[in-house]
Structure 1
Amino acid sequence: MRKVIYGINLTTDGCCDHTKGNGTADIHEYFTALMKDVDLIVYGRKTYELMVPYWPDVAKSQSGTKLENEFAETFDAIDKIVFSKSLESADGNTRIIRENLAEEFLKLKQQTGKKISIGGVDLPSQLIALDLVDEFHFVIHPVIAGEGRRLLADTQLRDRLNLKLVQSKVLESGAVALHYLKQ
């Protein structure tokens, strides 16, 4: 069965609002390396609309820094699925699934291929509650936001989820990348 990885940027006080962290080059480098083992990205509508068309446009125009361009190229080349009832259409190598999150996601896990990457907050929270996420990559930025959305704030887990730390890395910016496996 394919592994599902969840990567997200967080502030030291747990805020997962993408505008509250530091978008430094080493963060792009970290997530580009993470995507090398991925052949499918799954988002909900909100995260998809934050990422697309922004990153595909950067990949085409090469308008970012060297590391942003590398991330954009890696991201753009990977197939995507959006779980959404309201998204009208999707660009390029993206398809939309409108119903049966648990059933459809389990089918994706059972297909052959590399890892599946999920991102955002709402969809990953639902998948975590369904016990369908295998690995967690939390990048903790050296920022105290003092406000903002918190990860899993509105999620009811069936049981406590125990994780095992398998790697930690301090990035040049002072952010700390933590890699956990579900136990």
Structure 2
Amino acid sequence: MRKLIYAMNLTLDGYIAAAGDDIGWSGPPSHELFQWWLDHEQASALSLYGRKLWETMSSYWPTGDQQPDATPAEIEFARNWRDTPKVVFSSTIDKVGWNTRLVTGDAIAEITRLKAEDGGPMNIGGATLAGAAMRAGLIDEYVIAAHPVLVGGGTPFFTALDNWVNLNLMETRTFPGGVVMTRYETRR
């Protein structure tokens, strides 16, 4: 059975985007944090995206390695992003590219099916998609990279839940700029 990991950058007050889908609060990550994200992505066998996150990622990373100021880690991230199999869950788009499959039907049924397969870990991203997986009890690990900024509202990392989810702390790490990463596994 595959592990499902929900990992995102977020504000200290718990938002992945400020009002208006503004993600400018995060600024460019430190080299150490970017390398951590690269390592995390390279360890993933499959990436699951909601529409908004897909549109954000696919607007830059297909050619991110061709930018004149791209660092070696950014070049590797772009290559890894293109090569990693991806599934986009959306009923409003009709075309995806770059080693990606589109699912327009029941996201929870498809994520449950994918989790039951043999294979490496899967990352899930996008607040709506991850929120549905969270409510269905499908998330095995939460990774929070909390940035030292308060935005007061926007798109929350966590969704409203029907039941408590008990977690075990697996790792804590501090990065330059005051970013604190914590990893938790779901207690089953």
Q: How many residues align?
A: 181
Runs of 4+ in structure 1 deviating by more than 6 angstroms, as ranges, are none
Which amino acid is 1:182 matched to? Answer: T
CA-to-partner distance for each residue in 1:29-55, whole Å, 9 max, x for gaps?
Answer: 111111222110001111101001411
Correspondence for 2:10: 10
User: 5+ residue gaps in structure 2?
Assistant: 18-22
CA-to-partner distance for each residue in 1:54-84, whole Å, 9 max, x for gaps?
Answer: 1111135575222222222222210000011
Deviation at 1:123, TM superposition (A): 0.4
| Equivalent residues of 1:26, 1:173 under 8 A apart | no
Correspondence for 2:27: 22
Relative distance call for 1:60 and 1:107 in structure 2 (3 A) is farther
Indicate yes or no: 2:178 matched with 1:174.
yes
State the secondary structure of the residue aligned to 1:149: strand
Correspondence for 1:160: 164
Percentage identity across aligned positions?
Answer: 31
Indicate yes or no: 2:50 matched with 1:33.
no
Report the TM-score, using the length of structure 2 for normalisation: 0.89
User: 5+ residue gaps in structure 1?
Assistant: none
Relative distance call for 1:106 and 1:55 in structure 2 (3 A) is same
Report the TM-score, using the length of structure 1 for normalisation: 0.91
Correspondence for 1:135: 141
